[in-house]
Structure 1
Amino acid sequence: MADYDAQAPNARRYPRVITVDEIEALPRIEFNTGIDTAVFLSRERDDARYFRQGYCWMEPDHGPYHWDQNNFDETHYCLAGRIKLRVLDAAGREILLEAAEGEHIFLPAGFKYTVEATGVRSLFFWTSGPSPRPGLVEAKDYSNELRSLRS
């Protein structure tokens, strides 16, 4: 289409298949040594309004990744290996969650989370929502890189 502008608002908001090859070719955010993610469905690249999705790859001995989850819910679905997640609530109580291949973890807002190494190479699929209107403000350079991939 001669008049198609991939940068226009909602230009990429249409049904389509996103392949594993496409996901694996995306730029990644490195959370710590041996643990990174590719966001394959986002406000920036896809005009996704209500959630974002990605894959997270973890080496057997990756460094821990910690975050405070204040304003969104998230899920992790284990595709390969295992997920080990330390959870801390506002009262200081701590639990350890572990998911095997084919299992899901629900991570609601209001907790502090740390992904820990499991000793095996792992991969999980994550979804988070709602997707904040300004996009990935925690990773501005990555957000800009996703915007540049619109085509």
Structure 2
Amino acid sequence: MKIAIGSDHVGIELKPTIIEYLEELGHQVTDFGPFSAERTDYPVYGKKVAQEVASKNFDLGVLICGTGVGISISANKVHGIRAVVCSEPYSAKLSRQHNNTNILAFGSRVIGSELAKMIVKEWLDAEFEGERHGKRIEMIAEIEEENQ
């Protein structure tokens, strides 16, 4: 899979570990920044990654900030994005199975690198179950369309 990744200055320390792990799993990863620890704003990178995923240039995205919350909110403002912030693997897995999430976010101040890898693995290995969940995704898309 092609995966877009981004962070803010707080998430930049964890990002190389996640890139390396994704590549070990056989995925093609593109880093959308930042590329230094200089203070930056998470909405910039949440938007960049989300636009790449929404435009289908990438299959999925991963975002990292201090908590994962701000950067996921930013990503969710892009039409067609269903970003989830997770601090444990179970929610990550179910977010893919039930909500067909296309961006995973987490916080480098909340979880360590090994837990982050577990979350990423569960999220990537899960598949959307469709059926009753598909109807709900359609309902979410309708809300998105109404409020564009």
Q: Same fold (TM over 0.5)?
A: no
Structure with higher helix content: 2
**Structure with bigger RCO (C-alpha 8 Å, 6+ apart):** 1
**Higher radius of gyration, 1 or 2:** 1
